[in-house]
Structure 1
Amino acid sequence: MADAAAQDADEQLLHLNLAFLAGEPPACVLALARKAGGGSITPYVQNFLLESCIGTNVEGHQNSTYTTVILKRIISEVELSLDVVTDELYEEFAQRMSLKAKDSLLNRTDHIYKDISFLSSTYNNISSKLISLVARLSCSSNMLEGDTGCSLWPSSLFLSEFILSYPKIFSTKCCFELGSGVGLVGICLNYVGASKVILTDGDTSTLTNMKENMELNNLCIEQEVPEVSKESKNKVECRYLSWEEASKCDLPGYQPDIVGFVGQSEFIRDFLLYLGADIIYDPVCVPHLVRVLSMLLTRDGGQGESNGKSGDKFETETPVAYIATVVRNPETFNCFAKAAADTKLSVVNITSSAAPSNLLPYMLSYDRSSVQLLKVTLFS
């Protein structure tokens, strides 16, 4: 019993640390701090925040304002509850307020760095790692300024959990994402062993930020020069793609590759898998999105051959698209469903049958129940 209680306490502190590094809203961080303290933010939890969260935080990793707000909220709550605020917490807050007054430039940044840590689905096994993957991302801190492409959305988190929960679907496959945003899905695809990852977006500032995020995670960016690309071992490409302007001639490099595997005498087709997170949001964009999906799924050679694997419920012999989306407006979603049907695309909701593991239990702001997972293929 004592061991179980100690393990639970360590888990709560881990969640608190990961929530802070992920830039979770202050209210969520405080909720986890209370839980770690058994209902209140104890001196022990305060010291943990200072030493393991704020103290180890790389300079510039978190927006200074974010950390200051966390400290202020903790002090206010502890004082109101008539509990003890540690001297170290007061000193840290005072130091940050003084620094803020001296250098207002620290608070002018429009972006904040977030570490999104995916827990292992078997992390309760002492032989496995607690954290399977950490993705460092530069994200927008102000979505109201038209910087939505650089924000982290629930659908992207859900699709990432799906990839990590079912790695065999994406391993050795050429994967292509529409509207890649900050690039989290691409990082997860690379982690599970996709043979090629192609990330696209139609906004140039988002594309620039996406490339920076790939570099933050030590992922090489594919060179645009064909001669260099042929010899490159890089697996990630970041490309500009506007749905409104895209035509078949814009997609010559997105066909499946024919690749060979060591130890096998025959060549096996590396099927394309298409992905999208939160891309069904505007009825004006829906016709362009469906048109691009149709072009991608009907590429010459897209019918492919059997990949020689059996027994997998996700096994496919043709290109397939997985789309994670939050249905904010039923009319917009119905518009997408109708346009897809008119274009001979099959859209199946697989949210229940393919529910991913909860790999982000510390992200209290992430509402997994609001996300639906769709599988899109050509009508046979």
Structure 2
Amino acid sequence: MDSNKFGKLQQQFLCCYPVNKMAWSTLELPLELEAQRALIAATCGHPLNQRYPVRRSYQEAFVKRLMHLLKDHEELHDDIYDSLCGQLAKATIDASTTTAASQYAYKHYMLLPDKYITLRESTSFVSEGTTGLCTWEAALVLADYLLAHPSLLQGKNVLELGAGAGLLGILLKQPALQLPVGQVLITDGSAACVQLMRENIALNFDSDPSDAATPQCAQLRWHEISQFPWSQYAAPDLLLAADVIYDDTQFSALLEALDAIYELRGNRCEMLLASTVRNVDTVHEFMQQLEQHRYQVTPCANVSACASHFCRDHTAAVQIVCIKR
């Protein structure tokens, strides 16, 4: 059977796209037993999922939804039942053991056919005192924007603030993409996030973590910006940040950090900031504070849904702005 027949569902499954929004309409019902087997092999049975499994509850929801779609079929392939029973058995184990390992799972973001970024992420939105242990929508939107405008990266040393699980930095250094970027330094104020970024870099690169071919990572607390060892890294030309302005109590520290970095570079740098618009007033307040700090803010056009490299919810309003001084 054509391995690409279930390509869209496979891509969505591996990155844990919401089950109720998946491309179920691409299935040509009724599904013969061999097609059922092939679908399970392309999703739950995918080699990446076998080695680095996505969230157990997600796999269970996926199989249950599939069984509901096939409820009028006379026969279901044994692999479907085996997948569901396997997840239910793991659920029983998870319920009896609360370990750090069970609080994490994997997601796989497809860049090219058979080329994925694999990230270990928290199964909870808030964990270990931070929201940064999983990838948020704005990071995917900013990733799409950079892939659509690679000239923005030409010879640039990149610094990411609030990098979380590390998707953007890992993306920029992917050999298969051959993006024209210089050094990539991904930072976060949370020690747990920095440790997770290190693990994710190791998952995606075979070379030494200190090699220039991989992203570098470091802890950077915005309110301690003056203590950061800038001499150990290349001077940044392009700053990136995604979903970092949802909390207005952090505005002062973030602006302090931006002022210090722009001053360090003699204002010869710029920033791309992507924000999911959860509260219009919060976003507007930060934009006003940027202007008060003498920054010029220019809106950027988002990449269209049809050109997106990622499975993401395009109904979510995400704003990208370019910040210069």
Distance 2:258 2:157 in 1: 16
1:286 corresponding residue in structure 2: 251
Q: Which of these residues, 244, 250, 264, is aligned with residue 228 of structure 2? A: 250
Q: Which of these residues, 316, 336, 348, is aligned with residue 298 of structure 2? A: 348
Distance 1:368 1:26 in 2: 16
Give 1:208 deviation, angstroms.
Answer: 0.6
1:68 corresponding residue in structure 2: 60
Distance 1:221 1:339 in 2: 37
CA-atom RMSD, angstroms?
3.0
CA offsets per residue over residues 298-343 of structure 1, 9 Å max, x none? 224x45xxxxxxxxxxxxxx31101111121122112211211111
Give 1:17 deviation, angstroms.
Answer: 0.8
TM-score normalised to the size of structure 1? 0.73
2:42 equivalent to 1:52:
yes
Q: Which of these residues, 38, 50, 73, is aligned with residue 28 of structure 2? A: 38
Give 1:53 deviation, angstroms.
Answer: 1.8
Contact kept, 8 Å, 1:202 with 1:241, in 2: the verdict is yes
Give 1:41 deviation, angstroms.
Answer: 6.2
Distance 2:188 2:96 in 1: 30
Q: Which of these residues, 242, 245, 250, is aligned with residue 277 of structure 1? A: 242
2:19 corresponding residue in structure 1: 26
2:287 corresponding residue in structure 1: 337
Give 1:250 deviation, angstroms.
Answer: 2.6
1:370 corresponding residue in structure 2: 317
Give 1:100 deviation, angstroms.
Answer: 4.8
Distance 2:74 2:246 in 1: 46
- Local SS of the residue matching 2:43: helix
Letter aligned with residue 125 of structure 2: M
Distance 1:330 1:159 in 2: 19
Contact kept, 8 Å, 1:287 with 1:339, in 2: the verdict is no
Query: Greater CA radius of gyration, 1 or 2?
Result: 1
2:75 equivalent to 1:87:
no
- Local SS of the residue matching 1:150: coil
Give 1:91 deviation, angstroms.
Answer: 3.6
- Over 3 Å counting, the alpha-carbon distance change for 1:175 and 1:102 in structure 2 is closer
Unaligned runs of 5+ in 2: none
2:325 equivalent to 1:360:
no
TM-score normalised to the size of structure 2? 0.84
Distance 1:256 1:55 in 2: 43
2:8 corresponding residue in structure 1: 15
Letter aligned with residue 221 of structure 1: P
Q: Which of these residues, 203, 206, 222, is aligned with residue 193 of structure 2? A: 206
Contact kept, 8 Å, 1:255 with 1:272, in 2: the verdict is no
Alignment of 1:42-191 (within 5 A): 43=33, 45-56=35-46, 57-79=49-71, 81=72, 84-98=75-89, 100-101=91-92, 109-119=102-112, 130=113, 133-145=115-127, 146-191=129-174
- Local SS of the residue matching 2:223: coil
Distance 2:285 2:83 in 1: 53
- Identify which range, 11-20 or 43-52, moves more after superposition: 43-52
CA offsets per residue over residues 10-46 of structure 1, 9 Å max, x none? 7661111111111223323xx42x3221366664553
Distance 1:373 1:193 in 2: 21
Letter aligned with residue 371 of structure 1: V
2:209 corresponding residue in structure 1: 221
Contact kept, 8 Å, 1:140 with 1:147, in 2: the verdict is no
- Identify which range, 331-340 or 97-106, moves more after superposition: 97-106
The sequence identity of aligned pairs, in percent, is 22
